């Protein structure tokens, strides 16, 4: 039997709240650091367009990162026209979790995708894209009631959750979100990392793949990006269709152009300019430790949104004492910069977050 | 404050700590920042002041923009009460969209492209000076680190270009304001772009994060160093180094001494 809770109020959870509340696909309430201006982005108030694009004030448009928690942390999602950069941890491939969610979200929303990676066959990576968590009436009822274990014996599935260290309270947002969950065209989905995205979705999509391994210049990637972005030019009052560019490990040693520091940063600069005038978002992960400090800083300055991932060592007794829910954590996500959301292009006011370090947890849900 | 200083404060807008610290007459202003404390907001403020019609002849400005498209600056400055579109139309503001610079022929030497850019800037400055407009002209570069990327790493070419711009300041009564990302160069050996800029600067404005970390009311600290003794102006209150906190807002920025924020 599921636990019944009155709508809008939830029993105080332990600090790692993700573990306490959940049935699949549930959002955990509004952020405790919502800024004065943030009422605009409450997903209950703006219904997403069919193409998976959410509009914000001043002409800002967002697409989901594929991780609802991350969308909330970034106060909306990934801003169209911006470049997201993710500093990888060389000890762990967690950046791939972000990429998979990002790409899968785009496929689900039928948004064209350009994917580049230092692999012989980047297209094979598409097989690793996760399927959205299946939404059922039973789930919806459970969510509206606020929690408890699913009694239907569904096989457990895994999803990526991002939780804060010091979550303070939940809010009413959860209920209105529950209603929207049944809407097929919702803005963001939870993804089940154990289930691959259905093949037919991948075949029907406009997905371009490009290998950066063994190519000794970035010209091809630049040309392909340019061609891709020219199909997503921003138009005044035009129909908002979004594109996604995902580049994995841009400066990895396997890349043929590895070591050509100025070429790489030059490519980034030109990509940023192209993305800026488009309805697309580009996410670029990079193993920053192979770059010199100086170039690493150049890359960081070029990012509109800058994230970094740090693996959490297993069996670290000190950390286990310090962090609740340590066993479930796979890594830390640190937010260094956020593309500004108050206008179509970033403004000068920096976003100061109450908490800028978050934990990544793979959650098993029943 | 004495009437002369008051008038200068008026001219530069607000009577805030930043204008106090920036003695009038600085020809070469270098603004430094880092990832944790970006200082584009300082450029925006200085641009607004450069275009403000103070007293008789209004100011003029040329913005060499590598970092953002025009629409960005327009949006930002609009919230600060400055209409860039209008200034651009009336040719008070000359906007150089350098997002794609040098563009075109990859094979062409960067030195040539920079020389062409300099000529264009020089023409603009000369035209403005020739008009009835006797006010201060400001050449602003956002930012030098990107100019270096555009030059494919050739710091020498960038320095040559900057030196030419500096000659403009002495010959044409204009000032040069450049933004550079200090953290890119701090790990380098030898005398790089940053060291050169600091050397030729009259004024260095540096933004840094607070050592105590993030805060909602304070976004960082600004240090202002007046390097040279400036022609015709009395030394700015005899004070060479200023240090204070700042908070960036949509319509500008607040500057205040630590602990004095109400």
- Contact call for A347 and B216, based on CB within 8 A: no
Q: How many whole angstroms separate alpha carbon A131 and alpha carbon A189?
A: 9
Q: Is A293 on the interface with B (CB under 8 A)?
A: yes
Residues A283 and A211 in one domain: yes
pTM of the model: 0.81
Q: What is the per-residue pLDDT for A34?
A: 37
Under 8 Å CB-to-CB from A130, ≥6 apart: which residues?
A100, A101, A104, A191, A192, A193, A194, A195, A196, A197
Q: Is residue A157 part of a domain?
A: yes
Q: Decide if pLDDT at B226 tops 80.
A: yes
Helix, strand or coil, per DSSP, at residue A193: strand
Tokens describing residue A8: 């809008």
- Chain B residues with CB within 8 Å of chain A CB: 34-36, 38, 40-41, 44, 68-69, 71-72, 75-76, 79, 99-100, 145-146, 149-150, 152-153, 181, 183-185, 187-188, 214-216, 219, 248-250
Q: What is the per-residue pLDDT for A76?
A: 85
Q: Which of A175, A172, A108 is closest to A140 using CA atoms?
A: A175
Q: What is the per-residue pLDDT for A249?
A: 96
Residues A176 and A291 in one domain: no
Q: Are B133 and B58 in contact (CB under 8 A)?
A: yes
Residue-wise pLDDT for B51-84, tens only, equals 985 434 567 999 999 999 999 999 899 989 999 9
Q: Decide if pLDDT at B89 tops 90.
A: yes
Q: Are A175 and A8 in contact (CB under 8 A)?
A: yes
Q: Is A353 on the interface with B (CB under 8 A)?
A: yes
Under 8 Å CB-to-CB from A150, ≥6 apart: which residues?
A2, A23, A24, A138, A139, A142, A365, A366
Residue-wise pLDDT for B102-161, tens only, equals 986 555 689 999 999 999 999 999 888 776 656 789 999 999 999 999 999 999 999 999
Residue ranges and CATH numbers for the domains of chain B are 35-100+107-211 (3.40.50.300)
Q: How many whole angstroms separate alpha carbon A128 and alpha carbon A141?
A: 31
Mean pLDDT of A64-84: 90
Domain limits for position A296:
2-12+52-132+200-363
Percent above pLDDT 90 for chain B: 53
**Residue A211: beta bridge partners?**
A117
Residues A6 and A150 in one domain: no
Strand blocks (E) in chain B: 28-33, 60-65, 93-97, 137-142, 174-181, 203-208, 220-226, 241-249, 252-256
Q: Is residue A245 part of a domain?
A: yes
Helix (H) or strand (E) holding A23: none
**With bands split at pLDDT 50, 70 and 90, how would you rate the model's confidence at B176?**
very high
Q: What is the per-residue pLDDT for A145?
A: 38
Return the number of CB contacts < 8 Å for A and B.
80
Residue-wise pLDDT for A17-55, tens only, equals 333 333 333 334 444 443 444 333 434 344 445 578 998
Q: Decide if pLDDT at A184 tops 50.
A: no
Read off φ and ψ for residue A333, nearest 5 degrees. Answer: -115, 120
Mutate to test the interface with B, among A58, A81, A301, A351 (most CBs of B within 10 A): A301
- Contact call for A352 and B38, based on CB within 8 A: no
- The chain-wide mean pLDDT, for chain A, equals 73
Residues A76 and A180 in one domain: no
Mutate to test the interface with A, among B34, B99, B192, B247 (most CBs of A within 10 A): B99
Q: What is the per-residue pLDDT for A319?
A: 74
Q: Are B166 and B121 in contact (CB under 8 A)?
A: no
**Lowest-confidence pick of A68-82, A180-194, A197-211, B17-31:** A180-194
Residues A155 and A297 in one domain: no
Q: What is the per-residue pLDDT for B128?
A: 82
**With bands split at pLDDT 50, 70 and 90, how would you rate the model's confidence at A311?**
confident
ipTM of the complex: 0.90
Q: What is the per-residue pLDDT for B53?
A: 57
Number of domains in chain A: 2
Alpha carbon separation from A365 to A109, A131, A134, A327, B99 (Å, rounded) = 24, 15, 12, 15, 47
Residues A243 and A307 in one domain: yes
Tokens describing residue A49: 């367009």
Taking CB atoms and an 8 Å cutoff, what residues of chain B touch A354? Answer: 216
Residues A93 and A225 in one domain: yes
Tokens describing residue B52: 């403000």
Residues A7 and A116 in one domain: yes
Q: Cα B184 to chain center, whole Å? A: 18
Q: What is B136-160 written as a DSSP string?
A: -EEEEEE-HHHHHHHTTT-HHHHHH
The label of the residue with tokens 């906190």 reads B245
Residues A284 and A166 in one domain: no
Q: What is the per-residue pLDDT for A168?
A: 34
Q: Is A244 on the interface with B (CB under 8 A)?
A: no
Residues A359 and A279 in one domain: yes
Q: What is the per-residue pLDDT for A47?
A: 46
Q: How many whole angstroms separate alpha carbon A266 and alpha carbon A274?
A: 13
Under 8 Å CB-to-CB from A225, ≥6 apart: which residues?
A114, A245, A271, A274, A282
**With bands split at pLDDT 50, 70 and 90, how would you rate the model's confidence at B230?**
low
**Lowest-confidence pick of A97-101, B24-28, B206-210:** B24-28
Q: Is residue A45 part of a domain?
A: no
Q: In the structure, how many helices (H) and strands (E) does chain A have?
A: 9, 14
Mean pLDDT of A97-114: 94
Taking CB atoms and an 8 Å cutoff, what residues of chain A touch B248? Answer: 348-350
Q: Are B262 and B244 in contact (CB under 8 A)?
A: no
Q: Is A269 on the interface with B (CB under 8 A)?
A: yes
């Amino acid at each position: 039997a599921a636990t019944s809770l009155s709508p809008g109020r939830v029993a105080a959870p332990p600090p790692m709240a993700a573990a306490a509340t959940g049935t699949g696909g549930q959002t955990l309430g509004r952020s405790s650091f919502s800024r004065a201006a943030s009422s605009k982005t409450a997903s209950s108030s703006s219904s997403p367009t069919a193409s998976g694009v959410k509009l914000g004030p001043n002409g800002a448009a967002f697409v989901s990162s594929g991780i609802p928690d991350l969308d909330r942390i970034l106060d909306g999602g990934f801003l169209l026209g911006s470049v997201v950069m993710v500093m990888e941890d060389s000890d762990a491939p967690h950046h791939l979790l972000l990429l998979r969610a990002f790409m899968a979200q785009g496929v689900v929303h039928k948004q064209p995708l350009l994917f580049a990676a230092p692999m012989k066959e980047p297209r094979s990576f598409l097989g690793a894209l996760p399927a959205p968590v299946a939404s059922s009436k039973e789930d919806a009822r459970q969510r509206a009631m606020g929690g408890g274990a699913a009694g239907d014996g569904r096989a457990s599935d895994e999803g990526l959750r991002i939780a804060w260290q010091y979550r303070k309270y939940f809010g009413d947002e959860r209920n209105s979100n529950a209603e929207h969950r049944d809407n097929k065209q919702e803005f963001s989905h939870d993804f089940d990392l154990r289930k691959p995205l259905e093949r037919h979705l991948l075949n029907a999509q406009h997905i371009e793949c490009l290998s950066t391994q063994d190519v000794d210049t970035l010209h091809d990637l630049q040309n392909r990006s340019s061609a891709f972005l020219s199909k997503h030019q921003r138009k005044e009052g035009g129909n908002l269709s979004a594109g996604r560019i995902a580049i994995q490990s841009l400066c990895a040693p396997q890349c043929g152009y590895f070591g050509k520091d100025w070429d790489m940063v030059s490519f980034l600069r030109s990509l940023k300019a192209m993305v800026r005038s488009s309805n697309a978002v580009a996410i670029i992960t990079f193993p920053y430790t192979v770059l010199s400090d100086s170039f690493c800083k150049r890359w960081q300055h070029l990012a509109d949104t800058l994230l970094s991932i740090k693996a959490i060592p297993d069996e670290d007794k000190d950390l286990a004492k310090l962090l609740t829910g340590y066993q479930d954590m796979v890594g830390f996500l640190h937010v260094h910069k956020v593309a500004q959301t108050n206008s179509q292009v970033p403004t000068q006011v920096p976003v100061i977050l109450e908490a800028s370090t978050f934990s990544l947890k793979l959650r098993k849900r029943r | 404050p004495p009437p002369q200083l008051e008038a200068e404060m008026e001219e530069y807008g607000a009577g805030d700590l930043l204008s106090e610290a920036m003695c009038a007459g600085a020809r070469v202003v270098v603004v430094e920042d880092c990832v944790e404390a970006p200082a584009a907001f300082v450029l925006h403020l200085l641009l607004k002041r450069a275009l403000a019609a103070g007293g008789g002849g209004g100011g003029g400005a040329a913005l060499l923009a590598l970092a953002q498209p025009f629409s960005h600056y327009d949006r930002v400055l609009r919230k600060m009460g400055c209409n860039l579109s209008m200034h651009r139309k009336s040719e008070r503001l000359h906007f150089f969209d350098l997002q794609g610079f040098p563009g075109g022929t990859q094979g062409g030497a960067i030195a040539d492209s920079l020389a062409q850019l300099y000529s264009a800037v020089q023409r603009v400055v000369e035209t403005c000076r020739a008009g009835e407009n006797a006010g201060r002209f400001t050449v602003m570069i956002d930012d030098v680190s990107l100019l270096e990327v555009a030059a494919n790493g050739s710091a020498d070419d960038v320095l040559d270009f900057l030196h030419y711009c500096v000659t403009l300041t002495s010959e044409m009564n204009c000032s040069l304001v450049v933004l550079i990302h200090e953290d890119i160069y701090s790990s380098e050996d030898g005398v790089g772009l940053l060291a050169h800029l600091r050397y030729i600067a009259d004024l260095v404005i540096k933004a840094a994060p607070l050592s105590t970390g993030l805060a909602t009311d304070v976004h960082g600290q600004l240090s202002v160093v007046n390097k040279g003794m400036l022609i015709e102006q009395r030394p700015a209150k005899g004070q060479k180094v200023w240090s204070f906190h700042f908070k960036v807002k949509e319509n500008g920025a607040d500057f205040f001494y630590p602990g004095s924020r109400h």
